[in-house]
Amino acid sequence: MNSKKPNPLFIEPSGSVCPICGKRSYSLRGIHPQCAVQQADAPRQKLLAAEKKEKARLHAAMVDDA
């Protein structure tokens, strides 16, 4: 029987560097969990910031109009 080991899902060379913060990471895929969360959350944060800005602008326009 062929008892060949399956390939690992991730190959981790010793000394991976997190692409987000640039620090050394030994986590899965070489990215810190908190950095991965930060990255995943970035578009949402941007959207929220834009929304807030737009709201503030509308409010300012309303006040200006009155």
By C-beta, is 34 or 46 nearer to Zn ion? 34
Of residues 26 through 65, those in contact with Zn ion by CB under 5 A are 32, 35
Token pair for 59: 């409010």
By C-beta, is 21 or 48 nearer to Zn ion? 21
Cβ atoms of residues 25 and 17 within 8 Å:
yes
Q: Which residue is at the shortest CB distance from Zn ion?
A: 18
Binding residue (CB under 5 A) for Zn ion from 16, 20, 27, 38: 20
65: number of Cβ within 10 Å: 6
Cβ atoms of residues 39 and 30 within 8 Å:
no
- Enumerate binding residues for Zn ion (CB under 5 A): 18, 20-21, 32, 35
